[in-house]
Amino acid sequence: MTVSLQKHGQIAVVTIDNPPVNATSHAVRLGLQNALHQTTQDDDVQSVVLHCAGRTFVAGADITEFGAPPQDPSLPDLLAQIEAAPKPWVAAIHGTSLGGGLETALVCHYRIADPAAKLALPEVTLGLIPGAGGTVRLPRLIAPEQAVEMIAGGKPVTAARALELGLIDQIASADLLGEAIALAEGATRRAPLTMRPFIAVTSQDTWDNAAQKIKTKARGQTSPIAAITALENALKMDAPAALAAERALFEELRDSDQCKALRHIFFAERATAQAGRIKGVAATPLSQVGVVGGGTMGAGIAAACLLAGYPVTLIERNNEAAVAGRDRVLATLDQSLKRGVLTTAAHLQAVENFHISTNYTALSDADLVIEAVFEDMQVKIDVLTALEAAVRPDAILATNTSYLDINVMAAALTRPSRVIGLHFFSPAHIMKLLEIVVTDSVDDQTTATAFAFAKRLKKIAVRAKVGEGFIANRIMSAYRREAEYMLEDGAMPWDIDTAMRKFGFPMGIFEMQDLAGLDISWAMRKRLNATRDRTQRYVDIGDKLCEGGHFGRKTGRGYYDYSDSGKARPSAETRALIMAESRRKGITRVQISDKAIMARILGRIRSEAAMLLHEGIARCADDIDVVMVNAFGFPRWTGGPMFHTSGQD
């Protein structure tokens, strides 16, 4: 039964059981309506507890129903009926109460939550606003400035924060259902939220500031702006009018291109994991992880593993480097504690789980070792060979190389079937994407284990085959090249960056390179110089900047000049260098419009993507969308470069 009813004395317990996430699909809505009738008519029932089976409270409307014709009862109608119920309803919340799930909790007259519960209205992340009363009921419970943060930001709040805000009445101590029943026993009917006045804004200034912040951050996405409109309606209209206005906005957004694109990405991100589900092959459980190299990436990877609860041993070349690596990792754990990502107990446990060493024998129990040493084939082969001698024969050896040929690394070892690429993005403990690079010799168990490892790290794992730069860096190198051609053809770095920002990227390609350090790609170009195809156009501007010691932000100069406070401004020196390079090559510079800049960048992304698909390096076009959105901030609300149709460019 999707919705069932049981009586505990005078308390009716209504249970939703609709795996995997108890979404309010049609069967759930019908079941709830039925339960509402039964509990209303049964004179023995004093009040009702609404709770969910499985891992979570209702995680929202059923997104798969969005494209289909509506079926009654609609969620808003059903929720209005529950809100008007003559007997008090108590929502018992565990797991995640999201979107339509939180809206369901809001029509219940009391809310009690498990201490680990999270509550959110994440509709904006799907290009929507709450469409079942969230924008109208929430500001009648919490201050509008906080409501707008939840609705337009979409971020979850913890149970403790929800209690502080007044969003819930109680946190359960041990037995959520038992305590919810106890709460229901003493409950009297409260006025529904829509009958209460909304909470006034603290001041027009605080509201305007909060709204302005959201508008700036939206960068072309429409739903956060619509969320502000819906809340402003709720603050000036009566509840029925505001509910109708909210629904009209919701329906308009639901049919919009942005919402379709965001739904596409939502499902594409979940579908990437299919590449790790191999028939008849189970992932090996991992209990000890080793990381070699404690620099930017190694420290980030170690932190990511510790945050996921793995014991980690970090190996460095000497004591000094090991201590520096340890400090980097501990600083990240401290930040995570400060940001509330880790509880005090989990932080302590992570610190206890972390060890450093300069000796590979410390990895004799490791199930997985990830190397993140210098990007040099010989250094990596030496490290992997030494590792192979030190670890158990069944341990997996992974490389975080950005560009190097992992087939060559595997071939240098005696157990190539246990070698795989795990390509993290910087900062590794934050970035969601992980490219899992399967070599020609890797076995299925290693691949399945790598995907299971990614899931535990809460990463989106995309399968790639070996090839210079795999998926992400190969596409990035291609559109960076196109951007460099445009420098010679007539655009300046800041023109290109501005066009990319207007399109919705969080930053342009030249700002991004200045941030990452120009020396990294310079080293790669030098490595490839001997084998470079001389018939292909080559732009020397990046090399010349590096020869002058302009490595980007870290040296105060790159494509841009940086003030002491870190503010970027167009560099006269870069401009002069670019003009000189155009002259040297005999190119007549022409003005390139923002539209033409983006057409060239998108065209290059798509043609490189087509080659990756043809070569079998990427599994499918959806995976490329997922990579571009999660690695380089390709605007999510376009659905990624492959989904994004040319008409919308």
Which amino acid, residue 149?
A: E
Given the complex with ligand NAI, which of 431 and 611 has the nearer CB atom?
Answer: 431
Choose among ligand 3HC, ligand NAI, none what residue 293 binds, the Cβ cut-off being 5 to 8 Å by kind. ligand NAI
Q: Based on C-alpha coordinates, what's the Rg of the chain?
A: 27
Tell the residue number behind the tokens 């990830």, with chain if given.
370
E-strand stretches of 168-266: 170-171
For the CB of residue 124, give the shortest distance to ligand 3HC in the complex, in Å: 9
Among 11, 383, 483, 545, contact with ligand NAI (rule: CB under 6 A) = 383
Number of residues lying near ligand NAI (CB under 6 A): 23
User: Is the Cα torsion angle 377, 380, 384, 386 positive or negative in sign?
Assistant: positive
Stretch that binds ligand NAI, among 214-222, 373-381, 610-618, 621-629 (CB under 6 A): 373-381
Among 85, 98, 321, 568, contact with ligand NAI (rule: CB under 6 A) = 321
Interatomic CA distance for residues 450 and 41, integer angstroms: 54
Give which of 551, 511, 535, 465 is closest to 633, Cα–Cα. Answer: 511
Q: Is 103 a catalytic residue?
A: yes
Do 290 and 312 touch, CB atoms closer than 8 A?
yes
Interatomic CA distance for residues 591 and 287, integer angstroms: 58
Given the complex with ligand NAI, which of 125 and 400 has the nearer CB atom?
Answer: 400
Choose among ligand NAI, ligand 3HC, none what residue 292 binds, the Cβ cut-off being 5 to 8 Å by kind. ligand NAI
For the CB of residue 129, give the shortest distance to ligand 3HC in the complex, in Å: 7
For the CB of residue 433, give the shortest distance to ligand NAI in the complex, in Å: 10
How many CA atoms lie within 13 Å of 543's alpha carbon, on the beta-carbon side?
11
Given the complex with ligand 3HC, which of 249 and 478 has the nearer CB atom?
Answer: 249
Q: Peptide bond preceding 73: is omega within 30 degrees of 0, i.e. cis?
A: yes
Q: CA separation (Å) from 155 to 124, 150, 173, 216, 594?
A: 10, 6, 24, 17, 32
Catalytic residue among 103, 269, 316, 371: 103
Choose among ligand NAI, ligand 3HC, none what residue 131 binds, the Cβ cut-off being 5 to 8 Å by kind. ligand 3HC
Among 317, 355, 432, 502, contact with ligand NAI (rule: CB under 6 A) = 317
Among 106, 292, 395, 642, contact with ligand NAI (rule: CB under 6 A) = 292
Given the complex with ligand NAI, which of 297 and 454 has the nearer CB atom?
Answer: 297
Q: Residue 188 burial by CB count (10 A; 0-12/13-18/19+): exposed, middle or buried?
A: exposed
Among 88, 192, 294, 467, contact with ligand NAI (rule: CB under 6 A) = 294
For the CB of residue 436, give the shortest distance to ligand NAI in the complex, in Å: 14
Give which of 413, 414, 432 is closest to 424, Cα–Cα. Answer: 432
Phi, psi of 15 (to 5 degrees): -115, 125
Q: Of 192-211, which residues contact ligand NAI (CB under 6 A)?
A: none
Q: Of 424-453, which residues contact ligand NAI (CB under 6 A)?
A: 424-426
**Helices 75-83 and 239-254 meet at what angle, rounded to 10?**
160
Residues whose CB is less than 8 angstroms from the CB of residue 73 and which lie 6 or more positions away in sequence, other chains included: 29, 30, 33, 81
Under the criterion CB under 6 A, does residue 374 sit at the interface with ligand NAI? yes
Given the complex with ligand NAI, which of 116 and 379 has the nearer CB atom?
Answer: 379
Residues whose CB is less than 8 angstroms from the CB of residue 81 and which lie 6 or more positions away in sequence, other chains included: 33, 36, 73
Interatomic CA distance for residues 464 and 436, integer angstroms: 6
Choose among ligand NAI, ligand 3HC, none what residue 127 binds, the Cβ cut-off being 5 to 8 Å by kind. none
Among 210, 373, 442, 578, contact with ligand NAI (rule: CB under 6 A) = 373
Choose among ligand NAI, ligand 3HC, none what residue 294 binds, the Cβ cut-off being 5 to 8 Å by kind. ligand NAI
Interatomic CA distance for residues 102 and 533, integer angstroms: 57
Among 316, 511, 514, 622, contact with ligand NAI (rule: CB under 6 A) = 316
* Runs of H (alpha helix) within 63-119: 75-83, 100-107
Given the complex with ligand 3HC, which of 75 and 462 has the nearer CB atom?
Answer: 75
Under the criterion CB under 6 A, does residue 47 sit at the interface with ligand NAI? no
* Runs of H (alpha helix) within 391-516: 406-411, 444-456, 472-489, 493-503, 509-516
Give which of 160, 183, 20, 188 is closest to 92, Cα–Cα. Answer: 183
Do 158 and 84 touch, CB atoms closer than 8 A?
no
For the CB of residue 66, give the shortest distance to ligand 3HC in the complex, in Å: 8
For the CB of residue 157, give the shortest distance to ligand 3HC in the complex, in Å: 14
End-to-end CA distance of the chain: 47
Choose among ligand NAI, ligand 3HC, none what residue 321 binds, the Cβ cut-off being 5 to 8 Å by kind. ligand NAI
Q: Is 352 a catalytic residue?
A: no
How many CA atoms lie within 13 Å of 357's alpha carbon, on the beta-carbon side?
12
Given the complex with ligand 3HC, which of 267 and 374 has the nearer CB atom?
Answer: 267
Give which of 589, 563, 586 is closest to 575, Cα–Cα. Answer: 589
Given the complex with ligand NAI, which of 58 and 302 has the nearer CB atom?
Answer: 302
Choose among ligand NAI, ligand 3HC, none what residue 98 binds, the Cβ cut-off being 5 to 8 Å by kind. ligand 3HC
Stretch that binds ligand NAI, among 98-106, 288-296, 408-416, 531-539 (CB under 6 A): 288-296
- The structure tokens listed for 7 are 């009586």
Interatomic CA distance for residues 241 and 263, integer angstroms: 29
Interatomic CA distance for residues 104 and 50, integer angstroms: 9
For the CB of residue 406, give the shortest distance to ligand NAI in the complex, in Å: 11
Given the complex with ligand NAI, which of 34 and 361 has the nearer CB atom?
Answer: 361
Name the residue whose CB lies closest to ligand NAI: 295
Interatomic CA distance for residues 220 and 383, integer angstroms: 46
| Residues binding ligand 3HC (CB under 6 A) | 20-21, 23, 59-64, 75, 96, 98-100, 103, 122-123, 126, 128, 130-132, 134, 270
Catalytic residue among 83, 123, 371, 435: 123
Under the criterion CB under 6 A, does residue 297 sit at the interface with ligand NAI? yes
What mask of x and - would describe binding to ligand NAI in positions 398 to 417, judged by CB under 6 A? Answer: --xxx---------------
Phi, psi of 14 (to 5 degrees): -100, 125
- The structure tokens listed for 368 are 């997985």
Choose among ligand NAI, ligand 3HC, none what residue 295 binds, the Cβ cut-off being 5 to 8 Å by kind. ligand NAI
Among 369, 372, 577, 642, contact with ligand NAI (rule: CB under 6 A) = 372
Choose among ligand 3HC, ligand NAI, none what residue 400 binds, the Cβ cut-off being 5 to 8 Å by kind. ligand NAI
E-strand stretches of 272-351: 289-292, 312-315
Choose among ligand NAI, ligand 3HC, none what residue 383 binds, the Cβ cut-off being 5 to 8 Å by kind. ligand NAI
Show which residues are catalytic. 103, 123
- Site residues for ligand NAI per CB under 6 A: 292-298, 315-317, 321, 372-375, 379, 383, 400-402, 424-426
